[in-house]
A and B are shown apart, each in its own frame.
Chain A
């Protein structure tokens, strides 16, 4: 399974990479390649130019910046899973991503850019809030977590933009992630998954995101509204799929996936509330 022919450049800096994207509208960024290479092998994507940003220095650190944690574009899922700076929801989602070899190569930023609804860390990112930093030759902009995902495999990044950093607010409280993996338990992409952040153990002030079931990882605003008015996690979870078009796929019917979303919303909320106390 070979990709179609393409040109390859290992960029030495973000500026160089941004210029290459600007000059070559058919180009694609590559970080770890764990989603891009399979897509190219299947010939679902055939970029004329691959701009490898994997060697750019300075992009693979996790930093505490006082009010937020800054995660460089080349930080891999494994580093997220192992870092004490990362909130529990995201740590857990990263630890449950793929397998050890995948986590050694796959980046967190790449998972956001790839925008697969079945991915784990993007769901945790939406619940935790925060922003991504997108750079192009004209400058940079920040995009809020819940505005990063547009449609199936479509992020808010423009073709000439490079995601350079993910910023997660240090909001305190507690957070959690839970899912059913395609290979059972927590293994492999999520059939359905949910992440929750709560300000304190009452859970009234919270952010909850659901992944796996629709087209994008999405905020479960119905659940958040119910929690704000004092509902129990179990009752609030009944509204898990409000506003989400649940899609049947190889892994389950609409009914089954809707049921799973409720189960994981409840579990994520309960665990986040326990983690907050």
Chain B
């Protein structure tokens, strides 16, 4: 089946089998390998992308369902050389260790702060319910998202914990 969609601002047309999962289309056909496959069962969130402006799990979406849609993947989040506030937050607050969960975590976090510019710690933790991390214990991920939210509001983020001890 022929599908046409916009991926990170660029129009793409491709011929896909109906059973092709969107995440495989993105990784294997478009070679955008920033979007990860962790569980393939819709639980881990490593495959999170934005479809028509909403965070979704691309391992549980068919590529044909995205016909006509606009998609943003982790590769399309930064503004040129300027990192998205969430990317900057993960960098500044060490929101990753192995990095496997990071693209999905960042895509979901970008939506959390877009929809709720001043989220509480509880709201952040619930917001990433659908993203599993095997390394960090989530602590620095929450700190990274708090940093990003402050930055996006135009405020100076709280100093890092290790700078205050």
Once A98-B130, A100-B127 are accepted as A-B contacts, the answer to whether A4 and B60 lie under 8 Å apart by CB is: no
Query: What CA separation (Å) do A235 and B150 show in the bound complex?
Result: 50
Closest to A8 in B: B18
Residues in chain B near residue A99, CB distance under 8 A: 45, 129-131
Which of B1, B45, B65 meets A33, CB within 8 Å?
B65
Query: What CA separation (Å) do A187 and B129 show in the bound complex?
Result: 8
Closest to B49 in A: A101
Once A38-B60, A101-B45, A104-B55 are accepted as A-B contacts, the answer to whether A6 and B19 lie under 8 Å apart by CB is: yes
The answer on a CB contact under 8 Å between B111 and A52 is no
A39 to chain B, nearest CB (A): 11
Which of A3, A52, A104 meets B19, CB within 8 Å?
A3
Query: What CA separation (Å) do A6 and B64 show in the bound complex?
Result: 12
Which of A5, A6, A98, A105 meets B61, CB within 8 Å?
A105
Residues in chain B near residue A246, CB distance under 8 A: none
The answer on a CB contact under 8 Å between B42 and A38 is yes
Query: What CA separation (Å) do A10 and B57 show in the bound complex?
Result: 20
A250 at the interface (CB under 8 A from B): no
Which of A1, A4, A101, A104 meets B40, CB within 8 Å?
A1
Number of A-B contacts (CB under 8 A): 70
**Contact count band on B:** 20 to 34
B95 to chain A, nearest CB (A): 18
The answer on a CB contact under 8 Å between B18 and A37 is no
Which of B55, B60, B67, B131 meets A37, CB within 8 Å?
B60
Residues in chain A near residue B127, CB distance under 8 A: 100
Residues in chain A near residue B62, CB distance under 8 A: 8, 33, 37
B17 at the interface (CB under 8 A from A): yes
The answer on a CB contact under 8 Å between B108 and A5 is no
Q: Return the CB mask of A32-43 against B: 1 if under 8 Å, else 0.
A: 011001101100
Closest to B61 in A: A33
Once A2-B21, A8-B62, A50-B18 are accepted as A-B contacts, the answer to whether A41 and B130 lie under 8 Å apart by CB is: no
Residues in chain A near residue B55, CB distance under 8 A: 100-101, 104
Once A98-B130, A100-B111, A101-B108 are accepted as A-B contacts, the answer to whether A34 and B60 lie under 8 Å apart by CB is: yes
The answer on a CB contact under 8 Å between A104 and B56 is yes
A251 to chain B, nearest CB (A): 15
B164 at the interface (CB under 8 A from A): no
Query: What CA separation (Å) do A46 and B103 show in the bound complex?
Result: 32
B24 to chain A, nearest CB (A): 8
Known: A6-B18, A105-B56. 17 other contacts (CB 8 A): A4-B19, A5-B18, A6-B19, A8-B62, A10-B64, A33-B60, A37-B42, A37-B60, A41-B40, A98-B130, A99-B130, A100-B111, A101-B57, A104-B54, A104-B55, A105-B57, A105-B61
Write the residues of chain A forming the contact surface with B, with a CB cutoff of 8 angstroms: 1-8, 10, 33-34, 37-38, 40-41, 50, 52, 54, 98-102, 104-105, 187
Write the residues of chain B forming the contact surface with A, with a CB cutoff of 8 angstroms: 1, 17-21, 40-42, 45, 48, 54-57, 60-62, 64-65, 67, 108, 111-112, 127, 129-131
A-B pairs, 5 with minimum CB distance: A99-B130, A8-B18, A99-B129, A104-B54, A3-B19
